[in-house]
Amino acid sequence: MTVADAQRRVDERLAKMRPLSREAAPPIPRDLVPPGSRLPFLIQTFLIFRYRHRFIPWLHRRYGDVFTVRMAPAGRTLVMLRRPEHIKEVFAGDPHEFHAGEGNGILGPVMGEHSLLLTDGDQHQRARKLLMPAFNGAALRRYQSLVSEIARREAGSWTDAGSISALRRMNAVTLEVILQVVFGVTDEERLARLRPRVTGTVDIRPWMLLGWVYPQLQRIRPWRSFTDNMVALDALLYDEIAERREVSDLDGRDDVLSRLLQVGVDEAGDTPPLTDHELRDQLVTLLLAGHETTASALSWTLFELGRDADIRRRAHQAADEGDDGYLEALLKEAMRLHPVIPMVNRVLKQPQRIAGRDLPIGTIVTPSIILAHDNPDSFPEPDRFRPERFLDGQVPANAWIPFGGGVRRCIGAGFSLMEGVAVLREVLTRWDLESTGSPKPRTRNITSIPADGAPLTVRRRH
């Protein structure tokens, strides 16, 4: 595809995908929702973006298990939930009445109108059905050897007694996994062209959103540069899709795009295969949803390993003996203690009774991952890093929700755990780790990351 064609498509997308539709989620009068902060909504929005780890627990201490938050634009109304039984009511809700896509509309200008994250109802159901086969157990097993190879290369490049930023290194690994295992690009020259475009696209700072709300900003930097980069990425992706459609060995390729291209008309004949535009939107969605999230989860895991010698000993043994269950428990406990995504949203399309309250259309019901994971009723001694919780089988349903839940549960959950276990195995069989940083979190783009990048000293194991 020419750059001019890609530019035209991006312009169309920007004109069509207005983020944060006010009509979908209008502000709800105070007397119709549970109590909450009376701070102006712009200040609440800032506090949630910037200081969510302190602000949300503070709201919980002050207002209890169910409270209201107001956010931009115009004070849209979020009712936050913490208890498993309330969260269950949301995840079990009819997806036609609990819209997740609308709640994620903020990312529309990048992800596009077909994105699995942004669609609802029948459109979402169709896309999910077409994407699922690329994320089932059999598909994940096919991706495993390339993921392990990428992780091995990374772990093999560290130097004895050297200092690394776990976050930076894990970002590099998960970027390669997206490019090679999701997009299926392994040619070095193509990878070199894609890498900067992909890195530029995932770097969505809060002020970038202004350029989508006020299109006139698109004419100046930095908004213009972001859009130019998106045009260049789209042109590369459309070319990749077109070429891949022509290859003769699609069936033998172990990557997500090649799997998606093989999804055809279903038995009933009512699900046409994915078009080029849909594929582009889904690839960018997988990139944005799967790259920094998994890197952050992994860097928190390495950080926690690096500060507890007993758990590290057990982890080394698990890696040596191929005990993937323990490695997975490490990841799960790190995601519990350091939630990568703070919350998930559903916009009510019908009045609903949730947590014993009657809530009107347009209310956004919001399971808080931060609060659910910090609940001592679900996780005794919630401040302790204790992977065994996930081996004892004692975690109640709807209490551990890093991947959301219900029909909208993260489609890449199994993928990211497979990837995480492979990376931990390759790292731990070679390296002893010592954390030299702090557990302070910071928000980058949509994820919570270690504020200092989780510095580690690595020593070769004997």
Q: Which is nearer to ligand HEM, 92 or 220 (CB)?
A: 92
373 binds ligand HEM (CB under 6 A): no
User: Alpha-carbon distance 282 to 288, whole Å?
Assistant: 10
DSSP tag of 273: P
Among 201, 293, 299, 366, binds ligand HEM (CB under 6 A): 293
The residue to which tokens 């997740």 are assigned: 100
Counting residues that bind ligand HEM (by CB under 6 A) gives 26
Could you tell me which stretch among 4-12, 45-53, 289-297, 314-322 binds ligand HEM (CB under 6 A)?
289-297
User: Alpha-carbon distance 354 to 66, whole Å?
Assistant: 10
Q: Which of residues 184-243 bind ligand HEM (CB under 6 A)?
A: none
The residue to which tokens 């209490």 are assigned: 399
| Lookup: tokens for 201 | 């696209």
Among 17, 71, 151, 297, binds ligand HEM (CB under 6 A): 297
128 binds ligand HEM (CB under 6 A): yes
Among 36, 75, 112, 402, binds ligand HEM (CB under 6 A): 402
294 binds ligand HEM (CB under 6 A): yes
CA dihedral 48, 51, 57, 60 (to 10 degrees): -30
Q: Which is nearer to ligand HEM, 120 or 432 (CB)?
A: 120
Q: Which parts of 210-308 fold into alpha helices (H)?
A: 210-213, 223-246, 256-262, 276-305
Instruction: Give the shortest CB-119-to-ligand HEM separation in angstroms.
Output: 8
75 binds ligand HEM (CB under 6 A): no
Q: Which is nearer to ligand HEM, 117 or 305 (CB)?
A: 117
**At a CB cut-off of 8 Å and minimum separation 6, what does 292 contact?**
171, 174, 202, 444, 445, 446, 447, 449
Q: Which is nearer to ligand HEM, 105 or 404 (CB)?
A: 404
Instruction: Give the shortest CB-290-to-ligand HEM separation in angstroms.
Output: 3
Cβ 154 vs Cβ 426: under 8 Å: yes
Q: Which is nearer to ligand HEM, 20 or 117 (CB)?
A: 117
Cβ 402 vs Cβ 337: under 8 Å: no
**At a CB cut-off of 8 Å and minimum separation 6, what does 295 contact?**
167, 170, 171, 173, 174, 175
Q: Which is nearer to ligand HEM, 409 or 461 (CB)?
A: 409
Instruction: Give the shortest CB-30-to-ligand HEM separation in angstroms.
Output: 27
User: Alpha-carbon distance 437 to 447, whole Å?
Assistant: 19
* 3-class secondary-structure state, position 36: strand
Instruction: Give the shortest CB-291-to-ligand HEM separation in angstroms.
Output: 8
Binding residues for ligand HEM, rule: CB under 6 A, are 100, 116-117, 128, 182, 285-286, 289-290, 293-294, 297, 340-341, 344, 402-405, 408-412, 415-416
